[in-house]
Amino acid sequence: MCLKKFVSVLIIISFLLTMLVACERGKTDIELVIGGISYNVNTYNTSLKNQKVALFDRLHRDSDGSLAIVVNGKDGYTPLSVYTDEKGSVTEFVISEADKNGEYIIPTNGFLAFFKKGISEEISSVEIKGYTSPEYIELPSAALLAVDGKSGVPINYRDCEGFPEDNINILMQPSTVFAVSDIPENLYAISIKRKTSGIFSVEEIDVKKYGNKYSTVVFGNEYSIAYAKKLLTLGMEFRLANTELATPYGDKKTLLLDNNPYRVNGINTDYCAKNGVYVYNYEYTETAAPICQNTFIDMVVINGIIMWKGEKNERAVMPGKTGYIIRFSGVNTDNIPLGTQVKTILFENKSIPLSHVKINDVIIEVGYYNTERTAEPTGFIYNSDFYSLTTCTNIWGLEIAVSGGVVVEVNPANQATSGNTAIPQDGFVISIGSGNSVYSKLGNVKVGDNADFYDESSFYSVNSIPISGVNAVRRNNNLMVYNSEYGKSTLTSNIGIELSVDKNGFVTAIYEEGKGNSAIPTDGGFILSALGAKIDELLANVGIGSCVFYNTEKLNLYIVETPETALRYLKASVIKMRSDYDYASDMLFNIDYDTADDAIGRLEKLITEAEEAKAGGNTTAYADMLTEGTALIKAMEYGFIPSLTVQNRAAWVTVAEERADGGVLVHIYSEEDVVKYVDYAKRLKLNTLVIDGFAVSYSLYKSDIDGVIQLEALNGFDVIESFVRNGHKQGIEIHILVCAFSGGSSSFVYPEGHYMNKYRDKYLLTNKGNHNGAEGFITLNPFDEEIRQFQLDIFGEIVQKYDIDGIQIDYIRFPLPIYYQKDTYEDFGYNDDMTAAFKKKYGVNPIDLKIDDNLWEKWCSFRRDVITTFVEKTYKTVKALKADINLSFTCFADYTDRQIYIFQDVERWCVNGWVDELYPMIYAPDTESQLFYAAQFAETIAPNTHLTLGVGAYVRATHKSMTEQSYMSYELATDGIGIFTLRYISTCGYFDILSNGAFKKEAVRTDKGAETLNTGVIGIIDNIDNVYKRFYTEERENLDFIKELLDSMLVLSQNRLNDKSFPMFAAEKLIEIKSRININDKKLSAKITADFDYLIGCFIRTANINDRNSRH
C-alpha cells in the first residue's frame, strides 16, 4: 500500500515537472518566422533558463524590478537582434555569436530573441506574429544613440529653461545661460564631450548640476534613466543625432507667439474638436478654415504677424499663399493681441508672395510689371504687353528669360552685355536688381531649368511703418499714437496732421494741417499724429477707411487689408461710383451709362448679400461675394472716363540714348522692334508717332550729307523707312524729329568725318568761352550760315527721301544758362561772328554786358531773331519741297524762359504762319500746373496753329491727373496731346489708364478734313442720343433739330470732299448750325456750344494752314 502510494506520488511529481518545463518552453502565442521556418516563442521577457526560444523587448525587467536594458547570454543560445519601425514591421536583423559572458542590448524599437539550438546565419527574412510591441520611440528625430545607431533614447528639449515637462530628456550645451542649475533628484544626468564629428564620450556620470565645461544630458523617464545608467558609463562613446530637431520648446511642432509656445495639434486637418491649436495654410484647399464643433478663435498670420483676429466661432477666409490661419480650439486667446509676432518651430509655413516667379526652388517676389526697373527689392516682370521687344534695362541686374515654363536665357549682371534682354513673346523676363536679397540665390540658374510665373489674389495683406511712441509729446519728424489714457485731446500744435481711428481700427477722419489738439476717442479708438517728414510717410500708407493697429513694444503701426476692409472697400467704391456717375452726368461726359447703372446696382446687391452671408456664418459665400464685387470694381475702374473721337494723340519714340556709363542704349535695332512699337501704339489708339531721326548725334537712317554718320549699332537698318511703312499699315502718322543745332555729348569720342569733328570750330560758346552746357551737351552755332545750311540740308533730305507725314524741329533754341547769378551769369551766344554782328548794330560787344544793363534786352532780342529767322527759313525750305507736310516745332512751356533764356519767340513764329503744329513741352506733374501753361498757349497760339499739348509721362503724374490732362485739349479747344514718351507710358504705368480710359475710343486727327468732320459730327450726334437726351428729356425736340442739321451737313459735305477749301466749308457750316442752336437749359447749351467750338477751331486752323501751304 505504501509502495503504491509512493509510486503514485512519483508519477504526479513527474507529471508536474513535465508540465512546468512545458510552461517554460511554450506558453506564449508569439510566433517567429525566420527564413520561412516557424518558431514558437516559449517565453516573453522571462530570464533565460531552458527555453528553446525566448523573446525580450525593452519592457523586460531585472529581478529587482528595474528595466533590464540588456540580457546576459547563456551557453548554447544564439541571439537575434531585430529592429522594427513605427508600424512594427521588421526593418533589420542581426545574428550574433553565442557568448555566455556577453551582454546583449535590447533594441529600443524591436526585440531580442534567443534560440537554444541556434539558427542559420544565412536567413533572408524575419517575421513576428501574435506580438504587441511597446510604444514606438522616434529615434529618427533628435536622439542619443549607440555608436552603431541601433538603439538609444530621444532628446526632447535642447537648451531650455528649467524642466518644462515630465518624462523628457534634455540636452544642455555649455554656452547656454541656464535658468536652473540643480538637477532634480528624480532625474539622472551625465556630462559629455565631443570627440569627433557626431561622436561623444561620457565624461561624468550622475551629475547633480549643469556644468559650464561640458554639455549635459538630463534623462527624465524610466527607460532613458535605465539606459543611461546601464550603457552610458564613464568613457563610453555614443552619437548625438539631429539635435537641431530638439528645441527649447520641445521636439514637436510648435508656434511661438511673442516667445510664448503653443504646441500644434494638427496642420490642415478637418478635425479640430479636441482642445488645442491647429494650423491651415495654402495647401488646405477650401475657401475657409473648417467648421468646428468646439468653441474656437481664428487668427490670420501674414509676414509673421497676427493681423486679423475673428470673433468667437467666426471662420477665417483662407489667405492664400501669403499667410496662414491659426485656430485656437478651446484655448483662451485673450492675451494674444493683433500685431503679435509668430514663429514656427520644427515646421515651415512658407508665405509665398501672391505674385512670384518660381525657378527651381527659388521664389522671386514680383512687385512690378512692364515698368522701369528700380533699386526696390522686388522682381520686375516684362512680357509681350511691354512696349519693346527688350527690357531696356541697365547693366545692374540679373535677367532670366522664360518661355514655355523653361529658362531660355540667363543674362548676368554687371557685364558689358547685361540688361536689355530680349523678351520671349510667349513668355516673360524676370529682372532682379543686384541689390535684391534673392539675387545671390540665383547664381546657379541655367538654361533648361523649370520656371513659372504665378499671380494670385488674397483678401489679406499687412504693411508696417514705425511709430515714435505712445502717449508722449510729439516732436519734429515724429509719428505718435494717443489713446484715452493720455487725456481728452492730443495737446499738439496745428502744424502737423492727425488721423482719428475708431475702436475697430478703421480710420474715420483726417485732420489736415492747421487744426491740431484733436479729441481722442474714448471708446477704444486712438489718434495718429504726424509732424515733419512723417506726414508724407503716414499719408502714403494710410487713408480714410484704412484698417490699422499698433504695437507698443515694437513701436510699429500696422496697416492691414482683411475681408472686412474688402467689404468696406466695396461700400466705399459704390459711393465713389455713384459720385463718379453723378460727376460724369453733371459734366455731360459721353460714357456708357447703362453699363454704369447695372454695375452700381449689382454692387449694391453684392454688398447686401455679403453682409447677410457673414452674419449667417456662410464664409464661402461671403468670400465669393467679395471676390465678385472686387472684380466688378476693377472692370469699372475706367468706366467713367470720357474719350474723344477727334483728337491728336501723339507720342515721341526714343530710338537710342546715352547711358549713365557713357555708352549708348539702343531701343530699336530691327524691323521686329519697329513692328512691336507700332503695335503698342495702335493698342494705345494713338494716331501719331514722332520718331527720332537722330540719336546721340548719329543719324538713324542712311544719309548722303557729308558729316552725317549712321549709328553703327543699327548695322545699316533704316529706322525711318521701317516706321513709315509699318506705321502707315496701321493708320498711324509718322513724323520725324530732328534737333536743330544739337551737337552732341562732350563725353563722346566721335569718329573722323563726323560733323562734330568737322564743325569743331563752330561750337556755340558762353561768355566764359565754354562750349559745354550744364549737362555736358554741345550746341552748334545757330548764327553760322554753314551750320544753318547743314541743318536745312538734313531737314530737306528726310522730307524728300521718305513718305513721312510730318517733320518736327526740336531744340530750336539756345541752351539754358549755366549760372544765373548776376555777377557770375554765364549764358550762350558769344561766338565772334554773333558778337561782331551785334556790335556792328549797337556799338557794344555783348560779352561786356551785364544782365541789368540797358542793352541786355537788345542782346536777348538779337538772339531771339537768330532763332526766329531760322524758323522762317526752315518753313520756307520744307514747304518748297513738300507743301502739305506737317511742320511742327517744340518749345518751352514758360514764356519768360522762352524770351530771356533760350530765345524762342514762339508767338511771333505762329502769328507769321511758319508753324503748322506746336508742341509746348509742358510736362507738368499735376493738372493745375498743366492747365496754367496750356491755357496761355490756347489763348495766344491756337487761332493760328494746331496746338498739341506736351504731357510728360516720366514726371509720374497721378492717374487722375493724367486723365484730366488727356481731356484738357477738348476743354481748351486745342488739338490734342503729345506724350513724352511712348516708352514712359509703359514704364511709368499709364498704359491701362489711357487705353481703357481717355483713349478707349479710336480718335481721328484734327487735320484730316472730311474724316475729321464725319467723325466729329457723329460724335456730337452720339452725345445727343446717349447723354443729352438721357438727362434733358424736355429738350428732345431741340436736340433732334440739331441732329437734322448735322445730318444734312454730312450729306452736303460729300460734294466737297476733294475741294481744297473743305476745311473752311466745314468751319462755316458748323458756325451756321451753331448759330441756330436753341437750347433752353444754360448748362446743356454751353456743352453743345463747346462741342461745336472744338470742331470749328480745328477746321479754322486747318484752313489757315492749307491757305499758307497753297502759296508754296
Q: From CA 692, how far away is CA 811, in angstroms rounded?
A: 12
C-alpha closest to that of 742 among 684, 838, 813, 674: 813
Positive or negative: CA dihedral 401, 402, 403, 406: positive
| 887/1112 Cα distance (integer angstroms) | 13
Q: What is the DSSP string of 858-902?
A: HHHHHHHHHHHHHHHHHHHHHHHH-TTSEEEEEEES-HHHIIIII
Task: Match 499738439 to its residue by C-alpha cell.
Answer: 492
Asked if residue 280 lies in contact with residue 195, where contact means CB atoms within 8 angstroms, the answer is no
How does 557-571 read in b/e, with b if 16+ C-beta sit within 10 Å? bbbbbbbbbbbbbbb
DSSP annotation of 1 reads -
Confidence (pLDDT) at 176: 64
Residues of the chain short of pLDDT 70, as ranges, are 1-26, 175-180, 211-212, 1112
User: Parallel, antiparallel, or unpaired for β 777-779 and 742-745?
Assistant: antiparallel
Residue type, 853: D
Element (H, E) at 33: strand 31-34
Which region, left, alpha or beta, applies to residue 516 given φ > 0 means left and ψ of -120 to 50 means alpha?
left
| Residue 603 φ then ψ, to 5° | -65, -40
Q: What is the dihedral of CA 334, 335, 339, 340, to 10 degrees?
A: -130
Look at the alpha carbons of 1022, 1024, 1025, 1031 in this order and tell me if their dihedral is positive or negative: positive
Distance CA 556, CA 149 (A): 49
| Element spanning 962, H or E | helix 959-971
Which residues, other chains included, contact 987 with Cβ-Cβ below 8 Å and sequence gap of 6+? 370, 371, 372, 387, 392
Residue in the structure block whose three cell numbers are 534623462: 219
Shortest CA distance to 588 belongs to which of 965, 1032, 935? 1032
Amino acid at 353: P
- pLDDT score of 944: 86
CA 1101 to chain CA mean position, Å: 46
Place of cell 529587482: 64
Distances in Å between the alpha carbon of 1000 and those of 310, 974, 990? 43, 20, 13
Q: Compute CA distances 131 → 40, 43, 150, 483, whole Å.
A: 12, 12, 21, 67
For residue range 17-40, list pLDDT tens digits in order: 333 443 444 579 999 999 999 999
* Residue 558 pLDDT: 94
Rounded-to-integer distance, Cα 599 and Cα 595, Å: 6
Distance CA 980, CA 988 (A): 11
- List beta partners, residue 325: 280, 300
Q: 657-665: long-range contacts at Cβ-Cβ below 8 A with a sequence spacing of 24 or more?
A: 657/695, 657/696, 658/696, 658/745, 658/747, 658/748, 659/394, 660/394, 661/395, 662/747, 662/748, 664/695, 664/696, 664/711, 664/713, 665/392, 665/394, 665/420
Q: Does pTM surpass 0.75?
A: yes
Phi and psi dihedrals of 409, rounded to 5?
-160, 140
Dihedral sign for Cα 651, 655, 659, 662, please.
Answer: negative
Contact 288, 281 (CB under 8 A): no
Q: On the CB side of 314, how many CA atoms lie within 13 Å of its CA?
A: 13
Phi, psi of 493 (to 5 degrees): -75, 180
Identify the pLDDT of residue 711.
Answer: 97
The full length of the chain comes to 1112
C-alpha cell read off for 1075: 448759330
Is residue 31 within 8 A of residue 41, CB to CB? The reply is yes
Q: Residues near 626 by Cβ (< 8 Å), separated by ≥ 6?
A: 459, 563, 566, 567, 570, 610
The reported pLDDT for the residue numbered 212 is 66
Q: Is 488:520 a contact under the CB 8 Å cutoff?
A: yes
CB-based contact 794:752 (threshold 8 Å)? no
Other C-beta atoms closer than 10 Å to the C-beta of 48 total 17
Beta strand 886-892 with 917-921 is parallel
Whole-number Å distance between alpha carbons of 692 and 702: 14
CA angle 564, 565, 568 (to 5 degrees): 90
Q: Is the peptide bond before 981 cis (omega within 30 degrees of 0)?
A: yes
Q: Are 132 and 92 within 8 A, CB to CB?
A: no
Cell of 2: 505504501
Distances (CA, A) of 802 to 333, 702, 799, 806: 77, 11, 6, 10
Q: Are β-strands 53-56 and 43-44 bridged in parallel, bridged antiparallel, or unpaired? A: parallel
Report the C-alpha gap between 830 and 768 in whole angstroms. 9
Exposure string over 884-902, b if 16+ CB within 10 A, otherwise e: ebbbbbbbbbeeeebbbbb
User: How far, in Å, CA of 52 to CA of 25, rounded?
Assistant: 6
CB 1095 within 8 A of CB 1023: no
Per the listing, cell 500746373 goes with: 929
The one-letter code for the residue type at 778 is I
As a CATH number, domain 648-822+868-998 is 3.20.20.80
CB atoms under 10 Å from CB of 1043, counted, come to: 15
